[in-house]
Structure 1
């Protein structure tokens, strides 16, 4: 199926979030097919540009990362906040793969954080670092994931190898990795998904805010507008009174080299003396920054995938502040 045939249906599905299925995906390509990286309009096969803009419209969308991404968890969030999330984020090791029914079990649109590593083996893993990936070490695994996503048929947002400007992942600023290798890796993986017919994929390029990183300019890691649908950003409130303090530098950098819509792909605030002020200020900050078209709140506690309690409902006062901030930010619910 060509890009021209799938884009209208995909755009409609993303705008309405009905969850209905579309047409059949393209036939899978043999795993022995060489990876070829196009030099012009590389994501013209998929939903770049138009669908990304349709997905993140004039009101920001609400998403969550939760320990159990199931119907009951989302029902609870809707009951306590008055707003049903549109997205749920899950983390998948490229090396270990994804359960056959993982996407089917999700009750809303998936944001799939693809992590090319073995999660328990630390940040230096030479057999799966950027050089190894560029040599084809993970091609088989990426092709398998691409076929799963193609078979799912509904929209999937793919957050590939996030926080690449940090020094805590094998694809980040560790060992011999370079920004040029990162952008080449990105293009290789996107090209694999093109070959496997995963035209229901939207690609989220998602650095960390500069705080705590090597402070290499974010532009150095950017594959280019033709290769990216949505710009993501990881950043949490830590002893800061407002999201402007948290995100201001990163947004200024990003807006200097792309006009893509932005999604906060991990957000929340540390439980310190500033947290309630930060949560209260979040909605008004969204209203002042219309390029931020969505956010995913990290609703996990230490021991369930988080290193701090970033949740919006860790106290009744903060839950009340979050309910108000959703209204102040004119957040669109599912």
Structure 2
């Protein structure tokens, strides 16, 4: 084929187009993510790690209890989880407080155990807490009444051993990490909106506690003693399932968790922290004295009272000596729950977080507080 100017130009155009398509365009598209990750690392940089990538442990004799007596941690829960620490870094910058616990979600359909992902959390000085969800979140129904219907994930199937191989893969993985990992298994079970709720999915009374014990027993068989078990209902509401019948027993639980938000849809009226969490806390104390963690909390700014609510939260917390931690939901879902929706809200959180009771560092060799 004889070379001509048009043919040479056409070949050059083809080469340039291929270069743009396969190299430059992907790089440009990925640049915002990489820049955001760099900014997050500047705020929450990884600490010293072992050659295999795991955080460096201190000698056993030097281990500290986390959180120490009279102290509490402040953590963060983001929608992006271990894939992106930008929201956690925003939280740290806005509140002037480095979160000591990082919560993230993993469902049983797609959430395979990933040691490197959890190591990324621990290497940044944050205790990992996984909201471990027995369902397929990708098949979540848009109809609220059907959201908890996924027959593949009935509680009886968990107890019968259908998911044992998957559960063991996580148990072995967490054991291999060697540092504490909080496992918030099948949370908000007293509602109706998840397949593991006894009000949904053809489940029956007693199924939840049996399924919990079965999963816990598998971890024990593997020897995953570094799992910290977090039994975490939603704050009570009209027609919620009574908590005592859902509780697997103190031998199977390390921390109690609670989810509660000021300003959820249909409940926009102002509600102080004590009114939101107090009644359910009182119900819990009738059958267990395990340490309490607010595992999800957020506040709306729709009425311009978010800063006031945060101030009230920090004013109330010292009266609840059994509360050892609070995890803020730093994400946009039905509402923008992020702490930085206003300068006033960020400032209110920063003032509260500055108290001495929240000044403690989590380390991979820390011993979780169990009493």
Q: TM-score, normalised by structure 2?
A: 0.71
Task: Mark the structure with the bigger radius of gyration.
Answer: 2
Q: How large is the Cα RMSD of the aligned pairs?
A: 2.4
Number of residue pairs aligned between Structure 1 and Structure 2: 285
Counterpart Cα distance in 1 of 2:168 and 2:58: 21
1:102 aligns with 2:127: no
Structure 1 position 117, deviation (Å): 0.6
Deviations 1:175-197 (A, max 9, x none): 32134110000000001111122
Higher fraction of helix: 2
Q: 1:261 aligns with which of 284, 291, 313?
A: 291
1:300 aligns with 2:325: no
8 A contact 1:283–1:327 mirrored in 2: no
1:204 aligns with 2:224: no
Counterpart Cα distance in 2 of 1:148 and 1:130: 23
1:218 aligns with 2:247: no
Counterpart Cα distance in 1 of 2:68 and 2:306: 27
8 A contact 2:174–2:227 mirrored in 1: yes
1:137 aligns with 2:162: yes
Q: Secondary structure at the match of 1:235?
A: strand
1:326 aligns with 2:353: yes
Q: 2:341 aligns with which of 299, 314, 317?
A: 314
Counterpart Cα distance in 1 of 2:283 and 2:55: 35
Counterpart Cα distance in 2 of 1:298 and 1:194: 31
1:244 aligns with 2:274: yes
Deviations 1:260-303 (A, max 9, x none): 110011001122324222111010111111111101100011xx
Q: 1:192 aligns with which of 218, 221, 224?
A: 218
Q: Which residue of 2 aligns with 1:114?
A: 132
Residues 143-154 of structure 1: matches in 2 within 5 Å? 143-154=168-179
8 A contact 1:263–1:295 mirrored in 2: yes
Are the structure 2 counterparts of residues 67 and 126 from structure 1 closer, same or farther at C-alpha, using a change threshold of 3 Å?
closer
Q: Secondary structure at the match of 1:83?
A: coil
Structure 1 position 53, deviation (Å): 7.7
Q: 1:58 aligns with which of 70, 75, 99?
A: 70
8 A contact 1:283–1:330 mirrored in 2: no
8 A contact 2:231–2:255 mirrored in 1: yes
Q: Which residue of 2 aligns with 1:177?
A: 203
Unaligned runs of 5+ in 1: 1-17, 24-50
Are the structure 2 counterparts of residues 252 and 192 from structure 1 closer, same or farther at C-alpha, using a change threshold of 3 Å?
same
Unaligned runs of 5+ in 2: 1-53, 141-147, 264-268, 362-371
Are the structure 2 counterparts of residues 52 and 192 from structure 1 closer, same or farther at C-alpha, using a change threshold of 3 Å?
farther
1:20 aligns with 2:47: no
Structure 1 position 99, deviation (Å): 4.9
Higher mean alpha-carbon deviation, 263-272 vs 186-195, is at: 263-272
Structure 1 position 76, deviation (Å): 3.9
Structure 1 position 96, deviation (Å): 1.9
Counterpart Cα distance in 2 of 1:330 and 1:58: 7
Counterpart Cα distance in 2 of 1:268 and 1:332: 21
Q: Which residue of 1 aligns with 2:322?
A: 291
Counterpart Cα distance in 2 of 1:283 and 1:103: 29
8 A contact 1:128–1:170 mirrored in 2: yes
Q: Secondary structure at the match of 1:62?
A: strand
Are the structure 2 counterparts of residues 67 and 174 from structure 1 closer, same or farther at C-alpha, using a change threshold of 3 Å?
closer
Q: Secondary structure at the match of 2:358?
A: coil
Q: Which residue of 2 aligns with 1:276?
A: 307
Q: Secondary structure at the match of 2:328?
A: strand
Q: Which residue of 2 aligns with 1:89?
A: 103
Are the structure 2 counterparts of residues 215 and 313 from structure 1 closer, same or farther at C-alpha, using a change threshold of 3 Å?
same
Counterpart Cα distance in 2 of 1:73 and 1:215: 32
Deviations 1:188-226 (A, max 9, x none): 000111112211101000000013x63322111111111
